[in-house]
């Protein structure tokens, strides 16, 4: 699905940018996440309303119900308020086989998160590549939000 010219439409651009970034993260996460002592998929997760709206719109057979945006925003605010509690348990989207979000539609805050183990173990070159990839995902997220009339831009973790 493309717009005029060769540019991807906003949702395809966003999913494509997420896929490209996951390829960069994958070698590190495959090696280190299974034994990580400070796993990051904990509550409150970095999930924003738009992440949930995209999930419902693109994955669920049902359209976004009335009030979904407001509810998602409320949940996100509650989640942010709960951030002071250090031990709220695993993220509710975490399953025995990983995240319940599709691999190319993970919440922006999760996708864009460069964790401390990465910062301390990856080479400067690898970290720079991740930072560039995160920037592309965030830029695509801004364009996507604007295209949906949900301007205000991306909020990274
Ligand atoms: S903090 Fe880093 S190494 Fe640990 S589980 Fe999360 S992504 Fe993997
Ligand atoms: S939404 Fe997925 S990636 Fe994000 S914290 Fe939860 S399980 Fe982890």
Atom of ligand 2 nearest to the CA of 47: 1
Ligand nearest to the CA of 157: 2
SS3 content of the chain, % helix, strand, coil (to 5): 55, 5, 40
Task: Quote the pLDDT of residue 80.
Answer: 60
- Mutation pick for ligand 2 pocket among 40, 93, 109, 157 (CB with most ligand atoms within 8 Å): 93
**Two tokens at 115?**
């964790």
pLDDT digits (tens, 9 = 90+) for 95-104: 888 888 889 9
Q: Quick check: is 23 in a domain? A: yes
Q: Which value, to the nearest 10 degrees, does the dihedral of the CA atoms of residues 26, 30, 32, 33 take?
A: 90
Q: How many domains does the chain have?
A: 1
Matching residue, tokens 């951030």: 83
User: Which atom of ligand 1 has the smallest separation from the CA of 118?
Assistant: 2
Give the range of the structural domain holding residue 70, as residue numbers without chain letter.
Answer: 10-32+41-147
pLDDT tens across 6-65, in order?
A: 577 899 999 999 999 999 999 999 999 999 999 999 887 888 888 888 887 777 655 545
* Domain assignment of residue 155, yes or no: no
The pLDDT confidence band at residue 88, using thresholds 50, 70 and 90, is confident
Mean pLDDT of the chain: 82
The reported pLDDT for the residue numbered 130 is 97
Residue 153 forms part of a structural domain: no
Write down the pTM of the prediction: 0.80
């Amino acid at each position: 699905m493309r717009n005029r010219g060769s540019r991807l439409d906003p949702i395809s651009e966003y999913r494509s940018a997420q896929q490209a970034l996951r390829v960069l993260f994958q070698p590190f996460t495959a090696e280190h996440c299974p034994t990580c002592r400070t796993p990051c998929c904990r509550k409150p997760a970095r999930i924003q309303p738009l992440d949930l709206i995209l999930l419902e719109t693109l994955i669920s057979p049902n359209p976004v119900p009335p009030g979904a945006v407001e509810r998602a925003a409320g949940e996100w605010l509650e989640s942010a308020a709960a951030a002071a509690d250090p031990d709220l348990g695993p993220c509710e989207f975490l399953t025995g086989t990983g995240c319940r979000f599709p691999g190319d539609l993970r919440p922006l805050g999760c996708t864009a998160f460069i964790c401390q183990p990465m910062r301390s173990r990856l080479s400067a070159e690898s970290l720079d590549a991740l930072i560039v990839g995160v920037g592309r995902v965030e830029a695509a997220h801004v364009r996507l939000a604007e295209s949906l009339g949900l301007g205000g831009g991306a909020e990274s973790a």
